[in-house]
Every structure is written in structure tokens, then in C-alpha cells.
Structure 1
Amino acid sequence: MSDKLDRLQKVIAQSGVTSRRKAEKLIADGKVKVNDKVVSELGTKVSPNDRIEVDGVPLEKEKPVYYLLYKPRGVISSLKDDKGRKVVTDLIGEIEERVYPVGRLDYDTSGILLLTNDGEFANQLMHPRYGVEKVYVAKLEGIPDKMELGRLRKGVESENDVLKALRYKILSVDRKKNSMLLELTLNEGKNRHVRRMMDVLGYPVQKLKRERYGVLTLEGLQPGGFRPLNPKEVKQMRNLAVKNVEK
């Protein structure tokens, strides 16, 4: 219904401007106006007909959209690149809404990448406390044994981070080429997480692909292809995040 009321910070987050937590700080700092009046109370509710400004900029009321992209290697997970390299939004140029990536995949990593203009949805999937599982397949240079791989579940130290995998599964071993295909399940996503873990063990990643994100897979897509998420998938992803917090 058009007269539905929502909390102000939720409306700001859903617009894609920022996360709900940062929206709350902007409100508390007196940087948000509703119908030309400064609002600093976090419990304030607004309707779709209210005019909202955030730090002097009118809030654009776009309909929330959600896309799954099969990111190829050699593409930047960003909206622009100062080196002129191809970015993910170049692959979905015909979309009218202003979408941005949910997290990122490295330049040389392929696989599932979500794009949306819903800041709250993006924050739920990116924040470590929600712990939505992501599954990667890595081609390794070298063949680690099970004892070495067991260190991944305990965690390895790299650049002041402790990097872990929830689970791992050996998919194949090629002794002639001295390589292994390894499936890794993570519930967090630190910078170059998989590559750094394997570098610590001494088995560099030659190729890396994210094959599953929560309930989502790459089924039916080719590299560079994308599709909208259906309402059921959006709800399932939200429920996964909430369920993990409640554990």
C-alpha cells in the first residue's frame, strides 16, 4: 500500500545510499531531513510520499532490484576503474537502476557476484556476523596432503588476519600436472581470502571460481551473463542471514 510506514533508516538503506547502521549515524548527526525538517530521532517513520534528503542530497526512490552476474576473469568488481579496465557494470549496461556489487571478487577470480540498489540487503550479505556461506573451487599448484588441508579449518595467519574455511573437499588430483582441484566453503570473505590461505600453505591458486552463494548457483549462465533474482531467492537469502544471526 502507498501509505505504508517504514523506519527512516531502513528507507535510506534500501535506497542504496549507505548501510542501515551508517544511516542511523547520519540521522543522529542531524544530516537527514524529512519534508525540509531535520530529523534526528531514530524511531521516526516515513511514508513513500515523504521527501527525504541525506546530507543535502534528495533520496532517489528506486524500486529495489537484485541481479546475479557470472563475473568473468579480467573484470573489476567496481563501478569504475582509474586504469580503464572493464568493470562489472559494463556487463549490465542496459539496466536503468543504479546498482553496485555486493562485496567483490578479485580481478582474476570468476563466478557469482550479486548486484543491487538495496543497501540493507547488501549489508546483510557482506557483514561477517551474518555468515552466509560461499563455495569456491580452486585449482592449486601442488598437491597438499590432508594434514596440511586440515589447517584451513583451524585457521592460518596472514597479514594480521586469521583466515579459515568451514569445509573443504578434494575434487580431483592430477599427479602428472602436479595440481589439485579443491572445493572450499567459507562464511566470511576477507580480501583475497582463498588465495592468501593457500599461499600460506605453499600451494598457490592458479584459477579460482565462486560457484555458490547461499542458495544461488551459476546454473544457466555463461561468463558475462546475468539474470534478476526472483522474489523467492531474495527472501531465501534474507532468511539465511537472519537464521545465521539467531544461531
Structure 2
Amino acid sequence: MRLDYFLAHTTSWSRKDAKRFIAKGKIRVNGEVVTKPNTPVTEECNVESHGETIQWRKEKYFALYKPANYVSALEDSESPVVIDLIDPEERKNLKIVGRLDKDTTGLIFLTTDGQWLHRITSPKHDCFKTYRVECADVIEESECRALESGVMLNGEEHPTSPAKVVKLSDKEILLSIKEGKYHQVKRMLASVGNKVEKLHRESISDVNLDGLEEGQYRMLTEEEINQF
């Protein structure tokens, strides 16, 4: 494989970042400085950056900034899908963690690690997801308190778990929830008499988009992976 691919797969760097570091002579392969991104390497090579060895990862963990109008799926007959935003050589065996509605933007994960995926999505795991919610009407304090206490969604037998709410403006809040029911945020706002106009997921647990622009993705760091 190419050295820039190796680095993008094993660090939080983009391919562009990897090429820049390589060109500056910041990378050693088997003890020698290399300056060409297409330098061939294998999983067994000793690759170093700033004196630290970079280990090849058997599993892949990506954070992706999902744009609007993309479907959180691996394939769709009518619309573009999020897997299209991943480099072709990275797509094999990827699964989507934390799906978003087609019109919703923000953070989703993709991984080849099924056990890690299960830990995040399991109801037993207290994993808060934080959304920036723009509403059609003014958010009253009573609505915020109701969301924080838990609301009954149409068709459900039990109320939602208590949410965290931070009011940003008259019509905008940050809403953090642990569950992942179908259209949950939109249904929660409907239950208090409001309507979601725009929805964006900012973070999952302590992992955020970290400077990504729409359609971009990055490798998760070891610290981020180990949160779950």
C-alpha cells in the first residue's frame, strides 16, 4: 500500500495531511526518512512520526460529517449514500453507527468493528448524542423542562429518558439524548407542541466533528475509540 494511505488509515490525519508531513520529511520507514507519499509499505513496516511508532490498525474507525440529502446507508437506488464519501479503498466491511435522517446533518461513525458498534448502540450503554435543533416556534422554558423530564412519544408505551437541554436562542437548543428511537428528536419536539426546522448532530459522547467540513471524514483517535 502507499505510505499516505497507511498514515490516513492509522492516524487522525487526512490523506492531504499525510502527504504534507511526508513531504516535510517528518516520517521514517524502517529507520529512513521518506518524502514521497506513494512510497510502498506493508503492515509489518516500522513507520515512525516524531520518534513514535505508528501501528497498523486491523479495524477501521471513521468520523464523518454527513451532509443533507445523503442517506445513512451503504446503498440506495434513488439517493447518494454516506459510503460514497469514503475513499473506495477504505469501504470494505464498513458498517454505519449512528444513522441520521436524510435531511439531518452532522456526525456519524463508520467502522469494521462489530463489537464496538454494538457497545455504542446498545440501550445498556449510556451514550449521549447531542443535537443542535432549530425549531419553527419559540422554545418555551416549559418545553425545555418537559424534554429534560422525559416525554411520551406517539406510539410508545414509556416516556423518553431524561434529556439535557441548553437553550441557545429563542428558537434554538442543544438537545442531548441517550436513546435512538425512530425520528426521536423530531417526535420529542412534536410532543411539546413544536416542530424541528433544522437538525444537526454535533457529538456522540465526547467525540465531535473536530474541524471537519461537510462530506469530510477522519480516523478516530485511540482515545476516542476507547471511550466506548
TM-score, normalised via structure 2 length: 0.70
Q: CA deviation at 1:217?
A: 0.8
Contact 1:165 1:184 in 2 (8 A): no
What's the CA shift string for 1:41-84, capped at 9, x where partnerless? xxxxxxxxxxxxxxxxxxxxx921100000011110111113x2
Contact 1:163 1:193 in 2 (8 A): no
1:192-231 → structure 2 map (5 Å cutoff): 192-231=183-222
What's the CA shift string for 1:149-188, capped at 9, x where partnerless? 2111222222332234421011012xxxxxx111111111
Mapped to 2, the partners of 1:181 and 1:112 lie a distance apart of 19
Equivalent residue number for residue 186 of structure 1 = 177
What's the CA shift string for 1:21-51, capped at 9, x where partnerless? xxxxxxxxxxxxxxxxxxxxxxxxxxxxxxx
Contact 1:165 1:185 in 2 (8 A): no
Structure 2: gaps of 5 or more residues: 1-56
Equivalent residue number for residue 84 of structure 2 = 90
Alignment partner of 1:66 is 2:61: yes
Runs of 4+ in 1 over 3 A off after TM superposition: none
What's the CA shift string for 1:84-136, capped at 9, x where partnerless? 20111011032153201113111111111000010000000001110111111
- The equivalent position to 2:76 in structure 1, one of 63, 67, 81, is 81
User: Structure 1 residues 87 and 96, CA, compared in 2 at 3 Å: closer, same or farther?
Assistant: closer
SS in 2 for 1:171: strand
Mapped to 2, the partners of 1:188 and 1:122 lie a distance apart of 15
Equivalent residue number for residue 100 of structure 2 = 105
User: Structure 1 residues 207 and 96, CA, compared in 2 at 3 Å: closer, same or farther?
Assistant: closer
Mapped to 2, the partners of 1:72 and 1:165 lie a distance apart of 28
SS in 1 for 2:124: helix
SS in 1 for 2:152: strand
Alignment partner of 1:153 is 2:144: no
- The equivalent position to 2:166 in structure 1, one of 142, 165, 169, is 169
Mapped to 2, the partners of 1:144 and 1:234 lie a distance apart of 35
Contact 1:135 1:213 in 2 (8 A): yes
SS in 2 for 1:121: helix
Corresponding pairs, count: 169
User: Structure 1 residues 163 and 211, CA, compared in 2 at 3 Å: closer, same or farther?
Assistant: same
Structure 1: gaps of 5 or more residues: 1-61, 174-179, 239-247
